[in-house]
Every structure is written in structure tokens, then in C-alpha cells.
Amino acid sequence: MAGPSFKFGQHVLQASCVFFKSRLSIGFVNRKPVVPGHVLVSPLRVVERFGELSSEEVADLFMATQTISGVVEKHFQGTSLTIAIQDGPEAGQTVKHVHVHILPRRSGDFPQNDDVYEALAKHDKEMGEDPRWRTEEEMAEEASVLAKYFNCQVDSS
């Protein structure tokens, strides 16, 4: 893997998958989205639990989430949003780095509206009907489209 990268918990995230960067946070596409447009927002600093973030990081993370969510909802033609944080293993957190899930929603996208939470809990596990993970190229393509909304030139510094 060439080019700049970011640490995302126990993973390395290529800069080509990042479409938004603020002073303390990044927005990036999901390797296995629950719905089209399911993206993530994370602090740049690797912090496992939400309570470990500084006040400044919390403010930046939620300002970034608000900014990104409006664009994602409009771009993916959603009519609502699910915004979620899984904070700790019992809450379903599998990546040891705070991150916010943004999912653009539409009427009827799940049989029962709250089924989204079960799908979110299972989406990054290697089971289910579609165990396929997106390639870096597929992710970079989506990130490139979203980055245009933010005039985002991402480097890992």
C-alpha cells in the first residue's frame, strides 16, 4: 500500500479512503457499509473510548459529524439519518478507536426501522449473506466523489 495513511485503531486506513479532514477529525468511507453512503467519522488521535476524548476533540468530532451528515444524506438521497457510536465491546465496538457511524436512511430500507442496529452490530463480522469487503479502489472512488463536497485534499499529517 503506497501513499499516506492514518491509524484507525488496530487498522491502517489509506488516505485515498478519506474524504474529509478537520484539525482533529477525519471522515472516511466504510469498508463494509450497512447501507449505501454509510461512512465513519473519527478523531485523528487514536482513543479507544468516547470518555477519553478531550472537550476540543468531542466538539470537533461532532462538528465534523454534523457537516458530513448533511452532505451524505443529500448525496445518497436519504430522508433521515442514523448516527451512532458503539462505545466499548459490549456496545458492539470492534475497532479500538472512537468513531461515529453515519447512515443515510430511507423509508423501507429495513423491514423494521430499528433493524439497522442489528445490521450495524453485524456489518463488520465475516459472516452473513454477503461477506464481501470492498476493495481499496472501490472505497477510494467513493471517497473521491465525497471529497469534492468539502474541497478536501488529504494528507496524513
Mean pLDDT, rounded, for 127-134: 62
Is the pLDDT confidence value at 1 over 50?
no
**Three-state DSSP state, 130:** coil
Please indicate whether residue 97 is annotated as part of the active site: no
Q: Dump strand ranges (E) for the chain.
A: 5-8, 11-14, 18-21, 25-29, 39-43, 80-84, 100-105
* Residues facing residue 6 across a β-bridge: 13
Residue-wise pLDDT tens digits, 41-54: 999 999 999 999 99
2 pLDDT band, cuts 50/70/90, is: very low
Other C-beta atoms lying within 10 Å of the C-beta of residue 142? 20
What is the pLDDT averaged over residues 5-15? 91
pLDDT tens track for 11-20: 899 999 999 9
Asked if 30 contacts 38 with a C-beta cutoff of 8 angstroms, the reply is yes
Contact between 72 and 146 under an 8 Å Cβ cutoff? The reply is yes
CA–CA gap between residue 73 and residue 81 (Å, rounded): 7
Q: Does pTM surpass 0.85? A: yes
Catalytic residue among 38, 97, 99, 101: 99
pLDDT, average across residues 100-124: 91
On the question of pLDDT at 154 being above 70, the answer is no
